[in-house]
Structure 1
Amino acid sequence: MTQLSASGVMPEISSLRLCFYGAGSMAEAFVRGILDRGLTEPGQISVMNRQNVTRLDELTTRYGIRAAADDQSKLSTLHEADIIFLAMKPKDAATALKQLRGLIKPHQLLISLVAGLSIDTITALLNQQNAIIRTMPNTSSTIGLGATGISFSSSVTEAQRLLAEQLLQSIGLTAIVEEPLLDVVTGVSGSGPAYVYYLMEAMIEAGRGLGLSEDTARDLTIQTVLGAAHMVKATNENPADLRRKVTSPGGTTQAAIETLDSHHFSKAIITAIGRAAERAGEMGAEIERSAKS
């Protein structure tokens, strides 16, 4: 086991044992990203969950990683790990962390993927001080195009920061923010793909309603959204400026934008993101209350 906190030098990721406590889609996204980038070998990665052995078998078959299915193998895997990814469901987080109390060692680096689970709550549930990195990834991480917000506990070293960024960048873009702002990240990018899907649903439905086939409406919508996103990234221009460039006075786009404005489209999006951020805070408070019960 590599002592991550013993030195200011960042160890090679390939020398570290990575353990995923939770085997859902986000854990799988990280496993795939880490392996696709060649950061380590499958034998250095272990995964466990509460009791879904079928899911563990799927992951071991698909990626060649190790699974810890019984209590003894879970215990040894946790003891061997240098980095433990907390990837359980938010509703299970408090109970799971209480069960991990005394099993996780102070020198182990913890990376939380759990929405709403604060660094202070993790520390309280474990009843010890660990270097903790809290993240807010989104579902696009499953195809390597994620957007992940990152916050660090005060005990995280510079080497650990660099190490975590390298791991997290295996599934997409990262942005370091103060922990309270992770709720905002949740509203903007954590839930963000769903807003785009919702827009795409409406565009496809409109195309179908006006006479296009389902396939044609879908293909045109996908390419339009993809092209618009690439345009913003390639030009580095403000989306508002790009919108104005394609909005000719008296033209079709202006007519559409005016209709959206009449339905308070922009205000609705801003309000929705605010509500998502607010809900993230509520979820955190629920987990905290559960931790105290």
Structure 2
Amino acid sequence: MIQQNVAFIGAGSMAEAIFAGLIKQKMVRAENIYVTNRSNLDRLNHLKETYGVQTSTNKEEILKKADVVILAMKPVGVKDSIEEIRSFTSENQLFLSVLAGITTEYISELLGHDAPVIRIMPNTSAAVGSSATMIAAGDGVTKDQLTIAEELFKSVGMVKTVPEHDIDSLTAIAGSGPAYMYYLVEGMQQSLEELNLDQDLGEEVILQMMQGAIDLMKSTDKSPRELYQNVKSPGGTTEAGLNVLEDNDYQDIIIECIKGAAKRSRDITKELSTVREKTLS
């Protein structure tokens, strides 16, 4: 357990997933976690009642207590959000950004001082200790500071430290990937009604089936192709279902989905670079 105070700037689903996981895994005490947003008091009160964290819309009050600052606001408003808090920050704080498409260099420019910035891309499975988190250190980050970030997020799942230029592409899988899985499960759930199956029983079977498939992939050296080929037999039910997926170019759709998410992350970076150039000119 770390003794530092951790402040979250932003109180959305990602911030909640992270600090819920940190508390559950006993990495940070609830009373050492501070959460703020622009003005949504109902949301802050809900988080305080649910987790016991400290909440306030007074960002100066929260930031003065913070050793580690986790930037979790909406990426599209990052410039205004950081300018709003800049005067309350210092280079003695460690900044961890979970903002998709926002580079460590840009955050450092907005902060206006030499505070260390580390880019983090977790996912909402952090809430149950199962995130796949990518970490990229900005310029000037020390080994000890990187270790703090790694230890924080190891408590809520797997952590991989990667070059920052890879993080946009990895975001499309590690960060956005859970949403694609939920979308797939939703489709399976909708099929239950079409097949006149009990909804509760069917949902339990779907979740266990997915967990079993994941467990098997983790325990074997066989490729996904080998595994699904092992399940199907000529003229059987699995082959019939796979034929429908292949006829509809299912894997191509998945590839385009991931490429589209990665492109959007890179586009956000480019859009902010354009805004920065206009501001400086």
TM-score, normalised via structure 1 length: 0.87
1:229 is aligned with what amino acid?
Answer: I
1:153 is aligned, of 138, 144, 155, to: 138
Which position in structure 1 is the counterpart of 2:39? 51
- After superposition, the C-alpha distances for 1:98-141 in whole angstroms (9 at most, x for unaligned) are 22223211121100011111111101211222211101122222
Over 3 Å counting, the alpha-carbon distance change for 1:215 and 1:182 in structure 2 is same
Tell me how far apart the structure 2 counterparts of residues 236 and 213 of structure 1 sit (CA, whole Å): 36
Which position in structure 1 is the counterpart of 2:21? 33
Tell me by how many angstroms 1:275 deviates.
0.9
SS of equivalent residue, structure 2 residue 154: helix
Give yes or no for the alignment of 1:134 onto 2:119. Answer: yes
Give yes or no for the alignment of 1:65 onto 2:53. Answer: yes
Tell me how far apart the structure 1 counterparts of residues 195 and 21 of structure 2 sit (CA, whole Å): 41
Tell me how far apart the structure 2 counterparts of residues 75 and 242 of structure 1 sit (CA, whole Å): 54
Does the Cα contact within 8 Å between 2:233 and 2:239 map onto a contact in 1?
Answer: yes
Tell me how far apart the structure 2 counterparts of residues 97 and 206 of structure 1 sit (CA, whole Å): 46
Does the Cα contact within 8 Å between 1:79 and 1:103 map onto a contact in 2?
Answer: yes
1:84 is aligned, of 44, 48, 69, to: 69
Which position in structure 2 is the counterpart of 1:202? 187
Q: Which has the higher contact order (CA 8 A, sep 6+)?
A: 1
1:68 is aligned with what amino acid?
Answer: S
Tell me by how many angstroms 1:236 deviates.
5.1
* Identity %, equivalent residues: 36
Give yes or no for the alignment of 1:122 onto 2:107. Answer: yes
Which position in structure 1 is the counterpart of 2:154? 169
Tell me how far apart the structure 2 counterparts of residues 236 and 149 of structure 1 sit (CA, whole Å): 24
- After superposition, the C-alpha distances for 1:125-158 in whole angstroms (9 at most, x for unaligned) are 1122221110112222233222111111121111
Over 3 Å counting, the alpha-carbon distance change for 1:225 and 1:50 in structure 2 is same
Tell me by how many angstroms 1:84 deviates.
0.5
- For structure 2, the 5+ residue unaligned runs are none
2:10 is aligned, of 3, 22, 35, to: 22
How many residues are aligned here?
278
Does the Cα contact within 8 Å between 2:100 and 2:265 map onto a contact in 1?
Answer: yes
Which position in structure 2 is the counterpart of 1:13? 2
Structure 1 residue ranges (4+ consecutive) displaced by more than 4 angstroms after TM superposition: 290-293
Tell me how far apart the structure 2 counterparts of residues 260 and 174 of structure 1 sit (CA, whole Å): 33
Which position in structure 2 is the counterpart of 1:285? 270
Tell me how far apart the structure 2 counterparts of residues 289 and 94 of structure 1 sit (CA, whole Å): 13
- For structure 1, the 5+ residue unaligned runs are 1-11
1:203 is aligned with what amino acid?
Answer: M
- The range that moved more, 235-244 or 92-101, is 235-244
